[in-house]
Each structure stands twice: as structure tokens, then as C-alpha cells.
Amino acid sequence: MSHVDEYPLAVLNKIINFHNLNLLVYKFGDIEYVPAKSITDAIGIDWRNVKRNFEVEDNKILYGVIRLITPKIDNLGGLKTSEASLSGTNMGATDTEIADNSQFLDILCMRLDRVHMYLARVNTSRIRANGNIDSADYLLSLQTEWAQALHDYETHGIAIKSSLFNNTKQLKLLTDIYKGLNDKQQKHVVSQQIDACLGITRAEDKDLLTGL
């Protein structure tokens, strides 16, 4: 049996911008995956030191780790496929070229919807110790933001990203969310975010539910 037959065959689904890093997104079944090495390269972690951690059973479950076979892509409109950086625009390196068929790559991937969880658990002190100061500072700021979001979610049942307040489309999104909620506490939280977006200041006990 060849390597191509050994692992699931995935197809390139799309290219996304993830914190200024262009990522290849592959789809297998109904789930989207990204090369794990792309993420670790972007934050300056030595792939050799973390690869084995992705294959620990609990991490495989948490991050949805899977090995995929994908057709090799040589040209993506000039976008590079190596040397990823959170502050750059590269794709991130893939894993292993399959010896018996140079048209395919064997890639260790994680689920796209679990990437933030992985990044939230990264020790930024180790990144800083390796000299990647900017990456460490940036990731630590994200982890701090996510910690607050998790608290809001567990406390109020909903968390709203503050940067969503940059345009009218996001305001509409918030109002649509508000209209679809039934829980009074959740509606109160969203109404406060709408007020912040509009620059409205109300008394502490007043919101869209109780009026001005």
C-alpha cells in the first residue's frame, strides 16, 4: 500500500487570512483543517519539539489532529508556502513530500476551529526565550483577550468581540443577535455592546430592554 492510500485524501478548500497569516485550508468530510506546522512556524516554535505533542492522545482529540494526503501545490499566485510569520503574509510550510508520488504531500493537520484553543495554551515565555519577542507579545495580548471572552461566555452565555464594532455591518449583526435572543441576561449583555458601538451611555440599570 502506498502512502497515498494510507491516509485520507483531502482537497484544498480555501485560503484564509488568519492574524495576517495566509493559511491553506483543506477539507475532509465536513471538517476544515490547516497544516499544524503552519501555526507553529508562525509563532516561532521549533516544529521538532512540538510535533510529538500533537500526537499525544488527548491533544489529538482536543485539536482534532489528523494526517492528510493532499495534492502538491507549486504555484499560488506568488504567495510563498514556507517561513510563516504572524506578522507576514506567507502560507506556512507543509509537512512531508511523499516519496512514492511527488504530486502529493503528507501533512499533519489540526481542525481549523481548534487553532485558537491551541494558541491559547502556548507558553509565550518559551517563545520570548527563543528571541521571538514580537510574536510573544502579540500572542499574549490575544490570550488575554480570549481569557476575558471565555469568562464572558461562561458567565453571561455570550461573548462579543470588541473589534466587531468597526462598521455598520457589525452593528446590524449585533442587533440581529439581540432580536434572536430570549434570555434576559444575554440580551442585556448584547445591548450594552450595541450601546458601546453607538457611543450611547445609559444608567447602569437601563438598556434596550428597559429603555432610556
**Across 11-20, 42-51, 177-186, which has the greatest mean pLDDT?**
42-51
Nearest to 146, CA basis, from 168, 120, 177: 120
Percent of the chain with pLDDT over 70: 73
Tell me the pLDDT tens digit for each residue of 35-54: 999 898 888 888 887 888 99
**In the prediction, which pLDDT does 131 show?**
87
203 and 191 in contact (C-beta within 8 Å)? no
Please give the grid coordinates belonging to residue 154: 461562561
Tell me the pLDDT tens digit for each residue of 100-131: 446 778 889 999 999 999 999 999 998 999 88
Nearest to 118, CA basis, from 131, 108, 107, 106: 108
Q: Map grid coordinates 471572552 to a residue.
A: 149
Tell me the pLDDT tens digit for each residue of 49-69: 788 899 899 999 999 999 998
Please give the grid coordinates belonging to residue 95: 509537512
Q: Tell me the pTM.
A: 0.69
Tell me the pLDDT tens digit for each residue of 129-181: 988 898 899 999 999 999 999 999 999 888 877 665 555 766 777 788 788 87
**In the prediction, which pLDDT does 203 show?**
64
The three-class DSSP label of residue 199 is coil
Instruction: Output the CA torsion 165→166→167→173 (10° steps).
Output: -30
**In the prediction, which pLDDT does 112 show?**
95
Bridge-based pairing state of the strands 21-28 and 11-18:
antiparallel
Q: Show Cβ contacts of residue 30 under 8 Å, excluding neighbours closer than 6 positions.
A: none
Bridge-based pairing state of the strands 66-71 and 96-97:
unpaired
Provide the 10 A C-beta neighbour count for residue 25.
17
Residue 19 CB-density burial (10 A; 0-12 exposed, 13-18 middle, 19+ buried) = middle
**In the prediction, which pLDDT does 165 show?**
55
